[in-house]
Structure 1
């Protein structure tokens, strides 16, 4: 897969014509990373806008005791970078990013992107949409950590990230949601008993999506 094909796999650039795609390719590079490698650490600064073309990334921070605090996953065809300003060419990293799978990253020179596109109102709407999505994601993290009880945390993840829930081991899910494995087990049994979910061969299936949503709906969302 060449650079032009890689850029076309990112929906952020879908509105561009062939000439504009070519210009993006002239200010971009593609890199491959192995699973468990680090993309960046908290407080790093970058001058490129980063996109995940293929793979999976875990975003996390550490608390004052050195405990890892999971924040969220980034999936393919997504922008990784978090912008705090369109005026600065430096992009500040607010957290740590680790690859969970072998991955492909597209790096776009942010200064050149601003010069040739954003300053001309090209890709500006797409960038605002991505940043608004990230703001909503932050709101979800606040709810998960400060508002939701254990049942709401589990219900929210089942509704919004069922594939990842079933992909991970139960202990890993407990770690992500910051609840005890025994608590997760009790919640799943309760939801199953109420016929909101069913569990087949270890995978969770949603039987009653409306009831699942009602568990966390209105609780900080």
Structure 2
């Protein structure tokens, strides 16, 4: 790793993607990689930039977002460590389809694309792990598209709660609203309505409990 970013406590054997590799193979990756710390709100990469690295989020959390022609920000997803970020674009040498911003101080291992692809060609076990990561990303994208294609705000919230009932504990209301493309006021109004109808219960200790799943599913549209 770049000496100025070296972290002696980090070993690639800690991550599923690399735990099948030999010590020599891991050392080869570590020797060419850069371990970089990012501050909250710092940009990791911008939409349309050409990818030169695979990004392994080691600590922290990032937000993947797109900006529309009207400068509206649409949150596609948030990833928590450990996770690979935008590996499809890097694999295919395509410009990043979205931007990446740290929502809290984060630590990211930047792995140069070409040396890593050479390792993939020589070690099928790494390829299998990468395929698993890509499959999860595809599923995540499909869920995001389903939320954004919902017919109304209620359906967006209902679909998100069905997907992840703990979301109100994991994210602030304003960030959930951004994720869904609605206003915080609309989100609060919908949560209140679902509580009044007895469909969900919300508490500071337990988060959201879905009391009437069939009724919530009806709102999914």
2:74 to 58, 66, 69: 69
CA distance in 1, matches of 2:28, 2:8: 11
Equivalent residue number for residue 25 of structure 1: 30
Q: Gaps (5+ residues) in structure 2?
A: 1-5
1:108-187 to 2 correspondence within 5 Å?
A: 108-187=111-190
Alignment: residue pair count? 216
Equivalent residue number for residue 14 of structure 1: 19
Q: Gaps (5+ residues) in structure 1?
A: none
* Cα pair 2:158 2:219 within 8 Å, conserved: yes
1:55 to 54, 60, 69: 60
CA distance in 2, matches of 1:14, 1:165: 34
Deviations 1:125-178 (A, max 9, x none): 111121122222221122111135323322333344455433443233223212
**Offset at 1:210?**
4.1
* Cα pair 1:155 1:212 within 8 Å, conserved: no
Corresponding residue SS for 1:117: helix
RMSD: 2.8
- TM-score after normalising by structure 2: 0.83
* Cα pair 2:29 2:116 within 8 Å, conserved: yes
CA distance in 2, matches of 1:204, 1:191: 14
- TM-score after normalising by structure 1: 0.83
Structure 1, 134-143 or 172-181: larger mean CA deviation: 172-181
Q: Aligned pair 1:37/2:32, yes or no?
A: no
CA distance in 1, matches of 2:50, 2:143: 25
CA distance in 2, matches of 1:209, 1:9: 41
